[in-house]
Amino acid sequence: MQQEQANFHACDKASEGLKAEETKSSSPEQTSLPRNSGNPDNSEEAQETIKKRRRRSSKLEIRSKLIKVKSQILKRGISSFYSSPKQQRGSAPNNSSRRSRYIGISKNNTHWQALINIGRTKKYIDIFVSEQEAARTYDLYAIAIKGVKAGLNFNYTAAEMIDGIDHYLQHGKVMISS
């Protein structure tokens, strides 16, 4: 009886070892993001790593929705879009290094990521080097998905929003105003 249990445990351990080897060989190649030290070469390297990650992820498709929003702005004569303050969680004022002051943005290691809630599901938008770029991208996705009454991070005039939509439709990325 004891020998049967010992053989059973030996078989379990052997199968666990095989499973661990299978997961190691079948997992996609992991890329680590370089630390951003302010060095321009390092920033270019970070941008290349981000581009590689963007190719692997499936993006939310918002082009058709942005075209509809643009026509709504022009037809209704909407003059501006207003930001809404981010609701703070917890009692401690922004003590986490991962929290952003913008809606839908959090820090992921050394980069900022943008996420948006659709229904009860969080959808990943993308990762960015700067917090403001992530926040402006979130705003564009929020307008596309939630409509003209979406909670935004920045105030926009109708002309700025139309320019941002046009830039996204032409270039596939958000225009960053400096």
Cβ-Cβ contacts under 8 Å for 154 (sequence gap 6 or more): 83, 135, 136, 139
pTM: 0.63
Interval 101-115 mean pLDDT:
90
Q: What is the DSSP string of 86-97?
A: PPPPSSSSS--T
pLDDT, residue 112, reads: 93
Interval 50-65 mean pLDDT:
71
Q: What percentage of the chain exceeds 70 in pLDDT? A: 64
